[in-house]
Copies of this chain bind each other. A is one copy, B any other.
């Protein structure tokens, strides 16, 4: 057949049912080993691979074996090959029951001979093979050569799962009647106050990059969209070089009007999270197992309904555990508190919980005070494996109270005029929260650095690739 119509088989479809068929395949050379009159290749497509053989005989000349042996690793080739069942399972490949006997081979795209990192090294668990002198690859080398690193089975699995988180988030909310919105990232006023905001040159003036879609999703609630969500980049000019901070990350944002109590909002968000956890557990086991091979972790545990504790309860627990803190102090992720909470909450056998009723003083100006105790607020954080993944609250929906709180926080009213004005023409009680996508993926998989779950991470020291 004309090459234009040649059907290409996928590696994952190479099963014993295809035995003795002559097929065409496009794949990368994952490994190559010449041995006398034979050349053994492993051909790879994403997370799938298969053993292949070029041997001097009826269909291959000595020259062809030599040619095949000289193709550089990571090159992309088209091969015509006979599928053969094997007697003994090939443990090192995803396709364990067959191998390919190559009759023709063409190079589609040739890789340079020196790879900046070896894929096998990049997926080796820490400590494994140390005695044999086998290398692992440090994170900066991986990130500097992200295009190669993303080809590993671990990276392929992480980002397929990440794609799944976004889809589950949106599908769950769409079923609940939420509308997806698109909010501007170039804004004239810092949404979360003046600190930690990037400045953009905007024609003859300057503007900011949105630290969250906060003001805009609230404006959509004032505009009668009732329940909204958005998925998009958020920007924080924070000079934090930690395992959990990025200067640009993906926010999964929710905002909704409620009828009688802001716990309706908490319930809506926790149920969304639970649907995501269930979807991952039920549909992404292959990806979870793949990541676990390199980074072992316990399966993610959650309860239904989600555990909700009040901030004061958490403080009491921490004090019991010997942590000194005032009633209105914030939980500091830098110190022992998170781990304490995590350990203490482990009595509940869940990796996901809500802390409700934070001190008003530690929350943004638009947070609704607790009507029963003005020191506290109708706000909450959510945690996965002891680390914060969501911050949220009931918002103030009265322009006058909002103005007072903005003044109290020394925010320039002129800059947020459009926002405050949104509440002058009837605004329903509402609340919401913002989830960090990379953190959710990191913590669900039990990983230890948010850069592993950001394709091209940005931090104070990294702007490339």
Q: A residues near B, CB below 8 A?
A: 3-4, 6, 8, 26, 28, 45-46, 74-76, 108-112, 115, 146-148, 150-151, 155-156, 159-160, 162-163, 166-167, 170, 174, 179-188, 198-203, 205, 207, 209, 216, 219-220, 222-226, 231-233, 235, 237, 239, 247-248, 250, 259-261, 397-398, 418-419, 421-422, 424-429, 437, 454-458, 460, 463-465
Contacts and interface: CB of A to CB of B under 8 A. Distances in A.
Contact of A183 (B147, B162, B182, B455): B455
Contacts of A46: 224-226
Nearest to A209: B200
Max chain B CB contacts within 10 Å: which of A74, A109, A166?
A109
A398 B455 contact: no
Contact of A426 (B76, B205, B418): B76
Contacts of A6: 259-260
23 contacts: A6-B259, A6-B260, A26-B428, A46-B224, A46-B225, A46-B226, A75-B426, A147-B219, A147-B422, A150-B225, A151-B223, A166-B180, A167-B180, A185-B235, A186-B198, A186-B247, A186-B458, A198-B200, A200-B200, A203-B460, A232-B232, A419-B465, A422-B465
A424 B248 contact: no
A463 B202 contact: yes
Copies of the polypeptide in the assembly: 2
Nearest to A423: B109
A463 B200 contact: no
Contacts of A185: 185, 233, 235, 248
A198 B201 contact: yes
Contacts of A425: 74, 111-112, 115, 147-148
A200 B185 CA distance: 13
